[in-house]
Structures are given as structure tokens and as C-alpha cells.
Structure 1
Amino acid sequence: MASSEDILQQAGSLGNLDRPQISILDFGSQYSHLIARRVRELNLYCELYSCQVSAEELGKHEITAIILSGGPSSVYDEGAPHVRKEVWDLISSRQIPVLGICYGMQELAYTFGGHVQPGLKHEYGKAHVQRIDPNHTSPLLHNMPDDFVMWMSHGDKLDKTPEGFKAVAKTSNAEFVIMENIEQKMWGLQFHPEVTHSPQGNIILRNFCIEIAGAKPNWIMTDYAAEFIESVRKQVGDGHVIGAVSGGVDSTVAAVLMTRAIGDRFHAVMVDNGCLRKDEAVTVVKRLREDCHVNLRCVDASERFLGLLKGVTDPEQKRKIIGRTFIDVFQEEADKIQADSGRCDYLLQGTLYPDVIESISYKGPSATIKTHHNVGGLPATMKLKLIEPLRELFKDEVRALGIALGIEENSVWRHPFPGPGLAIRILGEVTAERVKILQEADAIMIEELHKAGHYRAIGQAFVVLLPVKSVGVMGDGRTYEDVAAIRCVETTDYMTADFYHLPYEVMGAMSSRIINEVRGINRVCYDISSKPPATIEWE
């Protein structure tokens, strides 16, 4: 197995194209990606690094500002993560502005002589933040009222600010929730401005990034596309690239980018794993070949996948089987292309930033939630090097890039579809019969969403086939058949999500059609879980 570090080095996305950036040092918070997301919304380029990144690595880049994330540790814990001394020396020598958020604020206090202690009570949820001196004009609070609501998530708190730092704001539970040292260009926040529960948090982030640090809001997708095309032409030379294409927005955008870069030397391969949506292979081949002019072939490996999945019920095992088999199929196709063209050195994948964050401890000690078939786990014998042009992008950024490339709206706004396909939406064993049942139910659900005008408002929608049976009555007879659950969520970053409030009449139409038209289902439920604590997919 290749190590995570080897995989990241192989990835070869746009990391080599240096531009001024805001660097986010991750202390293991599940919110770190949201900081990056909010900074990107300001049209600013940023990258996420481990909190223990070396000064040598950071020093390679033109850093406009540094943001220290939250984290689950206490700064006084044995083995708690800390920024390296040489990084603080780099910050000082370059006079880089620093914003510490939650644990990041406590790290500032720990480093510069303040003191942190356990709070009398933990503070989770919304809290009223008040300026200590309404007459003090902190640049961080420009255009902010004297009293505002922010989201708290901490146990420890400051009981002494470091020398040179001024206390700016407080809550009823904490005396110091904003502090600043204007001379050293350092600010600390005990709350989380990056979460949607902090309604004015974006103002604070904008004040820090643009007004204080002077970052230029020039991160736009047309530039990203042009830079990728230039970069990949240099990287690939006169070689060939094989592409992992599913027909979803991610792989479609990646395929169009690669086609613009090297034309027919990009060989897109779609694998029918037997777990695709109804008529998916035919539809995708037509759209990518005819509308997007992508050099695409479709490999029907459905019997191979379903054979390997026989008897498998564990979701992680399903993902690993499918991921491993995908790689095997791609390697086989690459060998064929190599034989025809004489050279095929690279594999294109449409991996996104949330995939990376949720799959491996990427640029920081954040927790693993689940594996993804296209992240990690590359065999050591694999001959292809990865190119992942979307690896640093969130879903809505990919859509913006697709629009900039002129891809039709229906393709750009398609809901995400997981690499393992319906295999992880069939809870329990995956069989050809159960795939057929789910395909029909899923097609009805999507058709009804379009008909009622709700599809575009929903981030992701799908049907799950449950491993339980239910008694029902159809006609005058008793039935004992499968139960299906409909899952519709609204989200922008796919890292947090809430269930979509679908009108009852639309739910009713879906349920009625699925029960009456799909043989094998006699009960339909609607999932009203949010993420977190649930994930978007059921497996």
C-alpha cells in the first residue's frame, strides 16, 4: 500500500502553482475545512496545513495571513499540538498577521505568556458577545455591533491575556473572547466565526483577511482553469492520461479540463460497476462524447463487481472492494492504451476537498469519518501517477468552474453520486435484483423532484434500500417486502447538511409511485437527520 504522504506527492494538483495565500494551520478541528470554505467565499485563495508544518514548507509560499484553527486538545495536555518555534520566527520576520480561533486563540496565549484554565462550565452553542469598551475601535470588529451572537464550542478559556494583548470582548461565561495585539498583528477569538451558526462571522473573517491582512479577492475559477491547463501541459508533455469518469459534475469538469489541455491524448474511461443509476451508462456516454467532446470509452464490468460483492454486507468492505476493483480495471485499460499509444503515465480523478478531509488525516490531525474509493489505498505496484485538478475545491466551486468552462447546466447541477454507486445505498448484500429495485425507485424520486421544481434547491437526493422487510396489503393480499428511505439534504459544502423540508404532497407522490410501480417495495420513509451527527450517505 502506498503511504498517505506518497499519495499526496503523486496528486499533482495545483499545489505547485504558487499564488499569494492565506495559510490555515489545522489543530485537528472538524471545523478547519469550514474556515477554508469561508475564506474561499471571499474570493481568496487559501491552503490547509498541519499545525506542525515546518517553516521550510511555509516559507516556500507568499503568505498573506495565517489562521490557527480550533482543536479537541487542551494546550497543556501532554502531546498537545503546538506551532513550531521556527514558524513563529517566520511569522515575526515577515510580519504576517495571525488570527487564532478557539484552540488557536489559546495557542496564542500559551505561546506568548497568557494563561488558559478549564471554564467553570463548558460553553457550547450560541452566546452573546459584548465589546468590553464600546469606544475602542478594533479593526477586527469593523461594521460589527457592540453586542452580537457567535457560536461557542469550548471547555477551556483564557483567564490571563499575554503581555501586549488587549481584551476586546467577553461573554457571561468568559472574560476574554476576543483579544488583539495590533503591534504584532495578532488577534484571538474564543468563538467560531466560520460556522453558519455565527451569522456575522463572515464579517469578522473579511475584516481580518482583506482589511487587516490586505489579501486581494482575486481567486476566480476562470484563472484556476487556465492555470491548470498550463500546468498539466508542462507536466504531461506529449504523454497520455487515463481518466476516471463517472458522469457526475466532479469527473465531468475534470474530464473537460483535461480534454482542453491535451485533447484526445486524454482517454476517459467509465466503468459500469453494476451499481449505477437507471440508464446511467448510456446517458453519460452520450453526454460526454457528443456534448463535451471527451474521448470516452465505457467498460462493462458489472458481473465482475457484483461477483466480488456477493455475500458482503459491511459498508467499509464494500467500499474497499469497489475501490480496489476500480483501480484494477483502470490499470487494465491503461495497459491497453499504453499498447496502442506507446505511453500512458497518468490517472485523472475527480477527487474533491471534502473527500480528502473525510478519508485521511490530510495536512493535519483531523479524524477519519469514512474512506472514499478514490482517496488513498493505491497499490504500490500501480504504474500511474495521479492528477487531481479538483482536490482543493469544494462542490460549489467545482460547479462555478463547470459554468466557467461552458458545461451545460444539467450536467453542472447534477446531484453527487458516490463512486461505489448504489452498493452503499443498498444496506446489506448487493445483488442484481436489489440493484434493479433501487434503480427504479431512485429514478421515480428524481423525476418527482424535477416535476415539483425542488431538484435545484436540494444538494443531494437519493433512495436507500433497507435490510428490513415490512408487512403490507396490496389488493386483497398480504405482502412482506422491502422498505425504502428517501434522503434529501440541503448543503453548500457537503461537510454539514440539514434535511430538506420537502412538502408532504411531494413525499406522498413519491411514496405512492414507488410502492405502486416498483415491485419489491411496500413502505417508504423520509430521513430527517442532519449532518452531523449523521452523514449524508447511510453507509
Structure 2
Amino acid sequence: MKREMIIVLDFGGQYNQLIARRVRECDVYAEVHPYTMSLEKIKEMNPKGIIFTGGPNSVYGEDSPRCGAEIFELGIPILGICYGSQLMSYLLGGTVETAPVSEYGKTEVDIDNTSVIFEGVSEKTICWMSHTDYISKAPEGFKITATTPVCPVAAMELPEKKLYSVQFHPEVMHTQEGMKMLSNFVYKVCACQGSWKMDSFVESTIQEIRGKIGDGKVLCALSGGVDSSVAAVMLAKAVGKQLTCVFVDHGLLRKNEGDEVESVFGPEGTYDLNFIRVNAQDRFYAKLKGVTEPEEKRKIIGEEFIRVFEEEAKKIGTVDFLVQGTIYPDVIESGLGKSATIKSHHNVGGLPDYVDFKEIVEPLRMLFKDEVRKAGRELGIPEYLVSRQPFPGPGLGVRIIGEVTAEKVRIVQEADAIYREEVAKAGCDKDLGQYFAALTNMRSVGVMGDERTYDYAIALRAVLTSDFMTAEAAELPWAVLNKATNRIVNEVKGVNRVLYDCTGKPPATIEFE
């Protein structure tokens, strides 16, 4: 599908996905690419604009990530953010050095709203700063458009070359008028029309799938989660009975979840699909025996998934394509160019080197979670499925710290079911992005029935998020936490302590591993 595009060049910043997500909120398509992307490739993609992300390095460091200054001669509008702002200054002759005073957190910024970027923005506005270096002198010809008491160049621009930069992060929620700034860049500087619409994406993707698959047979890795469910229905609309959905119950699902998935997608379910359920609990437990390292667990689960699918494909006959519900955050978090790998997703970085299919089809690969939900609604998938809680592909394997055993799975399944029941009963679930129980590897002394116990601690987690790239811990009512805690320690054998996780993302991830 031909579409206008903004390229986000990643210099190692923690908010790289979020920048792209915010641009898409403006109805303009955006992709994240490594800073090493060649000028030829950029020209070939013909973007309407480019955004440089932040990053942890100093631009004057020997090993700092840099692109060539030639990028500024392409005539493409560029917005530098944080490190990206400093890099623009450094490459064009400005001065970047260690700031006398670092700025971190919410900061009042003085704005020159005659700048097109700040059109409609308050003269004093709260922005999110996160830097130890600063631009002490802007490059020749640049106009300074924002300052703080300790940051002489909080924003600068060279409008005749369509170059703009901000020291703060407009993409995070803490920058109160950040969306207005990004929208100004996208529409007033890049002259985008806002043609990125979900209905056209769904329609064009179904057409592309039909063209790619032809009369071939397709196997869909169906977990029952939002992503794989949307992928399955999209494929069913594209190729009908050429599709077989294989649901692997790896023994790491939530309580009763295997039966719930089968009730929706199985023979008696809503959709007319070829559906196969594979009960592979013992097989996965055996593979995970003795394994404690999170990345190793993810890779083992990812490879075993593929091996099960390959075996099922052979039973069906010649199957050319494997469909997965991979989404964009999975791709980026699994490592993008020289960007850090946060965690290997079982369906991306966790895939084995050899996969016995002609091709892997990932129709949702470039979508964020809320965009997947929109696609699901466009496909007519019931709301209770579209809005269901996200669940990681490796399942409870990444909510059990340390070795995975059948007994630990039982403990976390029961604790999670109680917690979810109490949260829903109190009506707190409506606003939560995600909530669940995890099993820590910590055992501690307790006293129950006048006797000493030495059992596990359960950690409860609930976060507020719109995009699953950043999140804040939810302040659940104490009465709800108290009720869940009492039930868990009384009803779940092997648990004598319950903790609540108050950490946001970043610095933590939403899942525990």
C-alpha cells in the first residue's frame, strides 16, 4: 500500500517505539529504523519527514552513534529529539558539552510560539527533560525557540532547511503539549495529509495475503490472545479453508484458558476454522527443566512452538506458510539494528535458525497493540475478544522467576485467578492496561495455624498504559489488594506472602522476564 511515511531513526533511545506510536496517532504511518540506515534506502522509502530519537550516549564520544551530515541536505524535514537534537547541533557546527546542571523530569520551558513547531503551545509549558549534556551554542543560522533557566537551547530551528530540534521529549505523556508539537511537525512542516486509516490497512492487507498465498496451505499459530486471534480471523477472511489454526497448550496458560480458547475457535465456536488443539504440557516442562535464565526460557519456548507446528503441518500435508501474531513492539524490543535487545519475543528473536516453512507471514508485524485492537474491530471480532488482557506468548514461563515446574505453574495459575476475580469484582479492571500475578523465586518464613511455614511470595502487578511501551503502576484500592492477599495465602497451597509491584515501565518491563 502506497502511503505517506515518517521515518524514526533510532539512536538507542528508550522511547523509540513511542515516537512512532505518537506519529501514528496523528493518522500518519511511521516506522522505526536503525541510525545506520543508508541515505540510498532513505531516498528509496521517500519519507515525508525524519525524526531522530534520543539515546544514552554523548555525541562527542568516540563510539557514539552518528549518521552522516549529508542527511541534512536531502531536503526532507528533520526533527531531532534529546540526543537527536544534540546530534543535529554537533554535526552542523554547534557546541554540545556536559551541562553544569542535569535536567531530569517535569520542567517548565519558555516557548517561542511564533515557531511553527510551537504553534498553539503555551508560552510556558511543562516538558519532560532527561539529559546530562546540553547544546551550549546553536549552529550558525539556527534560531533558539525554547529555553529553561539551565538549558540555553531547549529547542532550535532552521526553517529554510526544515530542520527542527527539541531537547525534551514531546512523545511522553508528561510533556503536556507534546502531541500538539508532534502534530505541528507532521502536518505543518512535513505537509502530511493523515491517510493512515485502519479500514484501508485491513482491506489492503487481506488483498496482499491472498496474492502472497495463492492456493497454498497455511498454518496459524493461535494462542487465543488478541494478536494471534486478529491474525487468524484476517487470514480466514483472506484464504478461508486453506487455513488451519493450531492451538498449542504448552501448560503455561492462565487457569482454564485452554478450554476457553477452544470454546471460541474450536468446532463449536464462533468461527468456521480448521482447528487443532495440541496438549503439549509435559513436553514443554521437560524442555524447561533446570532452566532459570529468562532469555534461555524464551528461546526454548519459541523453538518448541515451532517444532510442534512443524509436526502438525506434516500431518496436514504440504504447508507452505506459518502465520504468527507478531506485532511491532515485539520486533523492536527483540533488537533493531544496533539498538539494545530488551527481551527476545518467542515469535521474533526467539525463533530458531531453521524453520521448516516456505515463509512466515506476520500481517500485524507493523502494528502497535491498540492498532491491532482497531483492526480486530474492523474485522468484526467481538469486543470481549478484542479488548481482552494481553498475555505473553511464553505465558506463565515469564511470570515464574527461575525454573518452571508443574507445581509452580499451579501456584501462579490459582493466585492469578483469585487476583483477577477480585479486581474485576471491584470494577477496577476497566481502566487497567494489564494486571496479573507472578511467582517470585523468593521463599520466606511465615506462620500459619501456629506453625512455621517456608513458602513462596506472589507478586501482584497492575499497570496503566495506552500503548504498552510505557506504563505506570496502578494505585489499586487497599481493600482490593487486602482481599486478594487474604484469599491467596488462604487458598493457594505453597504461598505465605503477597507483594505489590509499584514499578513503572521504564525502568521495569511490564512482564517479570
Match of 1:185 in 2: 162
TM-score, scaled to structure 2: 0.95
3-state SS of paired residue (1:170): strand
1:114-513 → structure 2 map (5 Å cutoff): 114-131=94-111, 137-289=114-266, 290-337=269-316, 339=317, 343-360=318-335, 362=336, 364-384=337-357, 385-475=359-449, 477-513=451-487
Structure 1 contact 255–294 (Cα < 8 Å) conserved: no
Q: 1:201: how far off?
A: 0.8
Structure 1 contact 25–49 (Cα < 8 Å) conserved: yes
Q: How far apart are the structure 2 equivalents of 1:68 and 1:26? A: 6
Q: Which amino acid aligns with 2:408?
A: R
Deviation sequence 1:97-141 (CA, Å, 0-9, x none): 21111222222222323222222222222222113xx5x721111
Structure 1 contact 23–67 (Cα < 8 Å) conserved: yes
3-state SS of paired residue (2:48): strand
Structure 2 contact 3–196 (Cα < 8 Å) conserved: no
Match of 1:18 in 2: 2
Structure 1 contact 29–72 (Cα < 8 Å) conserved: yes
Provide closer, same or farther for how the CA distance between residues 283 and 178 of structure 1 changes in structure 2, counting only shifts above 3 A: same
3-state SS of paired residue (2:8): strand
Out of 27, 41, 51, the position equivalent to 1:57 is 41
Q: 1:477: how far off?
A: 4.5
TM-score, scaled to structure 1: 0.90
Provide closer, same or farther for how the CA distance between residues 242 and 488 of structure 1 changes in structure 2, counting only shifts above 3 A: same
Q: How far apart are the structure 2 equivalents of 1:311 and 1:119? A: 48
Q: Which amino acid aligns with 2:208?
A: S
RMSD: 1.9
Q: 1:238: how far off?
A: 1.0
Unaligned stretches of 5+ in structure 2?
A: none
Match of 2:510 in 1: 536
Q: Which amino acid aligns with 2:443?
A: K
Matched, 1:526 2:503: no
Q: How far apart are the structure 2 equivalents of 1:137 and 1:191? A: 19
Greater mean alpha carbon deviation, residues 250-259 or residues 62-71: 62-71
Structure 1 contact 244–251 (Cα < 8 Å) conserved: yes
Match of 2:12 in 1: 28
Greater mean alpha carbon deviation, residues 244-253 or residues 121-130: 121-130
Deviation sequence 1:261-289 (CA, Å, 0-9, x none): 11111111111111111111111011123
Q: How far apart are the structure 2 equivalents of 1:66 and 1:376? A: 27
Q: Which amino acid aligns with 1:112?
A: L
Match of 1:14 in 2: none
Structure 1 contact 54–87 (Cα < 8 Å) conserved: no
Structure 1 contact 251–350 (Cα < 8 Å) conserved: yes
Q: How far apart are the structure 1 equivalents of 2:152 and 2:397? A: 52
Deviation sequence 1:144-190 (CA, Å, 0-9, x none): 12111211112222222223221122111121111111111111111
Aligned residues: 510
Q: Which amino acid aligns with 1:201?
A: G
Provide closer, same or farther for how the CA distance between residues 332 and 158 of structure 1 changes in structure 2, counting only shifts above 3 A: same
Q: 1:512: how far off?
A: 2.2
Q: How far apart are the structure 1 equivalents of 2:411 and 2:88? A: 56
Q: 1:60: how far off?
A: 2.2
Q: Whose RCO is larger (CA < 8 A, sep 6+)?
A: 1
Q: Which amino acid aligns with 1:344?
A: V
Structure 1 contact 313–427 (Cα < 8 Å) conserved: yes
Greater mean alpha carbon deviation, residues 308-317 or residues 501-510: 308-317
Matched, 1:78 2:45: no
Q: Which amino acid aligns with 2:193?
A: K
